[in-house]
Each structure stands twice: as C-alpha cells, then as structure tokens.
Chains A and B, each alone.
Chain A
Amino acid sequence: MKTSELIAVLATADSAPVRPAAPANRIASAALVGATAALAILALWLGFQPLAAAAGASWFWMKAGYSLAAATAGFLLLVRLARPGARIGFAGAAVGCAALFVIWMLAAHASMWASDDHRTALWLGETWRVCAFRILVLAAPIYAGVIIILRRLAPTRLALSGAAAGLLAGGLSAVVYGLYCQENAAPFVAAWYSAGIAGSALIGAALGPRLLRW
C-alpha cells in the first residue's frame, strides 16, 4: 500500500474525535482497582481479624507511609513514561530515595541501641520468611491493572515502564499487606518490605518489554 493511500484510509475510515488521555487519572484508577482486588485476596487468603488492631497503631503508619512513598515514586515515574517524549524528571526518584533514606535511618537507629538478641528479632521479626513473598503475590493484581491501562497509552521505554509499574504495584501491595502484618520494627520493614517491593519492580521490568510492546 502506498503511504498516501494509507493516510487517506486513516483520515476517512477512522477520524472520530478523541479526548486527550489523562494518564495520571487512568493509572491511579487502575492501581486503586488493583489494590481493592489485592485486599479481597488478602482477606480470603489470610483472614481479616488483625486488621482493626493493626490500623490504629503508630507502627502501622510507619509501614504504610514507607510503602505509600514507594508507590508514589512508581506512580510519578509512570505518568511521565506513559507519554511519548516526556522528560522523566527527578520527582519520582527523589520520593523513592527520600523514603529509602528515612526507613533506613529509622532501622539503623533502632538497631544501634538494641542488645544482640533483640537486634536479630528486630531484623527478622516472626514472619521474615513469608513477608516479601506475600507482598509479591498481592502486587500481581495491581500490576495487571496498571499494565492493561498502560497498553492503551503509549509507553516507549518498555523495561523502565514495567519497572515503574512494578514499583507502584509493590508499594500499594505493601500498604495492603500492612493491614494484616503484625511486625512493628523499622529494621524489619527496611529489609523485608523493601525486598518485596524491589522484587515486584524487578519482575515488572523483566515482563515490561513483552507485555507493553505496541
């Protein structure tokens, strides 16, 4: 087909008006739908009783704050990556680095003053074997939702977009899991929440080029 013919076909057969997409709104809605699904999976899988006890405590907000900051970093990156030609900027990286810095300072502070036995307990808690894995599982529906929306947008850097989607999914998943998780020490969060969130970003980066190609 000649290029001029193609243009004629495109401009006549499919010329319907479109509304400029609002990537931020669409990505945020997809992530929230995914997070709701993750919450439902959590309830069916592990039960819901501890939720009320956890949600009031200050250490719940420490975990939720850190996880939400990671999700925000992924979200800020993704909004830029979803639009061709946009500069990625520093906002996402700045939020991510600040969150890591704060949680590791809290972890170092708690760890430094603890006795040797207590220190091990701070870092490993009682659930270190399952924490990162559970965060990864709960991230899956959020990642899926975000990827579906991204495919309708136009990301041009697929691995990076996949990583940012994984970071957003991992962070939100960790917020959801924090409703169940009874660990209350900053070192535990710095190690195992970070591992779950980073794992989600890595898997997201590996899948990105395959899932997002257009």
Chain B
Amino acid sequence: MEAELKALMIAAQAGDSAAQTRLLTALAGRLRAFFARRLSGRADEVEDLVQETLLAIHVKRATYDPRFDFTPWAFAIARYKFIDHLRRLGGRVSVALDDAGELLAADNPEEGAVRRDVADLLGRLPARQRALMRDVKLEGYSMEEAAGRAGVSVTAAKVSVHRGMKRLMKEVSDEDL
C-alpha cells in the first residue's frame, strides 16, 4: 500500500491529474476509517474532516519529500487536522454547556447531538456534582434551590459547580492530546 500511494504521490507532484484523483480517492477511504475510529458515529464531522484533510494534502503536496515514506506524512496531516478540529469543538462545547438550558428546550434534530454530548460529559462526574450541575446549568434552578435539593450548603454547591465546569472544560480540551 505504501509503495503504491508513494508512487501516486510522486506522479501527483509531477502534475499527473489522474494520479491525483486515484491518490485522493484511495486516501479518502483510509482517512474515513481513521477519523471514524476517533469520532465514534458522528458521520458528518468525519466527512468534513476527510475533506479538509484531502484539501490540505493536495494544497501542501510540495512539502512531501519523496526520499521519505508517504504514509507518515499523510497521517501526520490527518492527525493535525483532527487535533485542530477538537480544539475548535472544545470551544463550542463549553459554550454549549453555558447555554445548554436553551438548547435542550428546543426540539430540533441538530441539537440532539449537543444533548447527547452534554449528557455524555456530565456522566463522567460524580453523582452529587452531576445532580448539582444539571440542576443549575440545565434545569434552571437557582444556586440556593439546587443546594437545598442536594442537601449541601450554598457555598459548597457553588464550589462544586465551579469545579465541575472546570473539569468538563479540561476533559473536552484533553481530548486534543
């Protein structure tokens, strides 16, 4: 596989349009598998990343040095695009958490994905902290009401929610690495 892709890339660098088509088509399948493994089930994101990576590979084709293997070069670009994607996603999810109450109220298929992500993230927290976070950030209870429901002091509830937010942000950004 490496030898074949490498030969196609060298032809592509020389301006062979047919070789470029074959190379990018062959890579598209492998990239789809690469991203699908890392983004379980989010098909539209996977396809976006496949396209972005193919574009980058094409635009940066002069930076491939034929003295070295082709596959590490191509997948270093794929990994870079994946990390870049997560970094942007990280910013989006933290915004989504802040506005999650509004988002969850609306009934709209696109926002189902956000709801799943939020539920998935909350699932990683300890039970009491999760209950506090859900009450304050999603259900719209005041800090006092939420503290009462959880049976802790208001200060403890504030600290717990704050720490929970920090931890979620960290978990989201840690996935970059």
A-side residues, CB < 8 A to B, are 1, 3-4, 6-8, 10-12, 14-21, 23, 82-86, 153-154, 156, 213-214
Contact = CB atoms under 8 A, between A and B. Distances in A.
Contacts of B28: 3-4, 7
Given A20-B62, A20-B65, A86-B68, A11 B75 contact: no
A84 B50 CA distance: 17
Contact of A18 (B13, B17, B55, B74): B13
Contacts of A1: 51
9 closest A-B pairs (Cβ-Cβ)? A17-B15, A85-B72, A84-B76, A85-B76, A156-B80, A11-B20, A18-B62, A15-B17, A11-B21
A83 B17 contact: no
Contact of A84 (B12, B15, B18, B73): B73
A94 B133 CA distance: 50
Given A213-B84, A214-B56, A10 B62 contact: no
Interface of B: 12-18, 20-21, 24-25, 28, 47, 50-51, 54-56, 58, 60-66, 68-69, 72-77, 79-80, 84
Contacts, number: 89
A12 B20 CA distance: 9
Max chain A C-beta neighbours (<10 A), residue from B18, B25, B62, B68:
B62
A14 B15 contact: no
A6 B77 contact: no
B77 A4 contact: no
A3 B50 contact: yes
Contacts of A7: 21, 24-25, 28, 54
A76 to B, nearest CB: 16
B20 A85 contact: no
Given A11-B21, A11-B24, A154 B63 contact: yes
